[in-house]
Amino acid sequence: MSRLRNARHSRRVLIKTGPFFLGSLALAACSRRFGDSSLQTTEPSASAQTLPATPACGDDPTPPQTSGPFYRLNSPERTSLLEPGFAGTPIMLTGQVLSTSCQPIAGAALEFWHTNAQGEYDNAGNTFRGQQLTDAEGRYQLETIAPGLYPGRTRHIHVRIKSSEHATLTTQLYFPDEPLNEDDFLYQPELLMSVDSSGNRPQAQFNFVLAGNV
């Protein structure tokens, strides 16, 4: 199984990730303060590296994955999932939503949800859950934390994207160099984020490619 995944990885080269455009997107979020001790998880933080540039679109659509049992309707509209009192390592995730012809998709609705730093989902409220719309260039940005490890899974972020002229995409994003990636039954290298940890906080990037409606 490992050899098959490695072959797919080298053949497809982590499609759908593109160059960073993080400068202005960090905005005032980068000035938000967090207590040093409160941001450290009790488990290893997400590993990070800068990955090589790869085709942004014009290939297959982003692979779908299961939403899992913890998806909830009506998450609040927001670009930051950080809340006072919650532990975790802050990250900024940015990217674009594109068509298979490389056109940005404006007004696409993205929903994000993931565990807290202890690997637990909030099934009663909206902690680490939120939704937003892409701008005129199909761009999105999400300020959140590196999720904790849910039992039996590697570190991941759930995403659902809806657009009136494209098929709804439900998928999951993964962190590079996670020890549990290859043992996770859902992990796909095509869904790896590109992560740069050279600054004050990890900067993650992923471009989604949506198929047209059928």
- Our CA angle for 44, 96, 71, nearest 5°, is 60
- 21-70, pLDDT tens digit by residue? 333 333 333 333 333 333 333 344 444 445 444 445 666 899 999 999 99
Handedness of CA 147, 171, 49, 105 (dihedral sign): negative
Dist. CA 129–CA 13, nearest whole Å: 30
Q: What is the pLDDT of residue 20?
A: 41
Residue 195 lies in a domain: yes
Q: What is the pLDDT of residue 212?
A: 86
Structural domain containing residue 114: 2-24+49-59+77-210
Residue 67 lies in a domain: no
pTM above 0.85, yes or no: no
Q: What is the pLDDT of residue 154?
A: 98
Partners of 91 in the beta sheet?
Answer: 144
Q: What is the pLDDT of residue 214?
A: 56
Residue 70 lies in a domain: no
Residue 34 lies in a domain: no
Residue 72 lies in a domain: no
3-14 b/e (C-beta count within 10 Å ≥ 16 → b): eeeeeeeeebbb
Residue 138 lies in a domain: yes
Q: Which CATH number characterizes residue 106's domain?
A: 2.60.130.10
Residue 36 lies in a domain: no
Total count of domains within the chain: 1
Q: What is the pLDDT of residue 58?
A: 65
Residue 106 lies in a domain: yes
In whole angstroms, how far apart are CA 183 and each of 103, 179, 186?
A: 35, 8, 9
Separation of first and last alpha carbons in the chain: 32
- Our CA angle for 146, 149, 152, nearest 5°, is 150
Provide the residue-wise pLDDT of the chain in tens; the chain has 214 residues.
444 344 334 333 333 444 443 333 333 333 333 333 333 333 444 444 454 444 456 668 999 999 999 999 999 999 999 988 888 999 999 999 999 999 999 999 999 999 999 999 999 999 999 999 999 999 999 999 999 999 999 999 999 999 999 999 999 999 999 999 999 999 999 999 999 988 889 999 999 999 987 5
Dist. CA 203–CA 195, nearest whole Å: 6
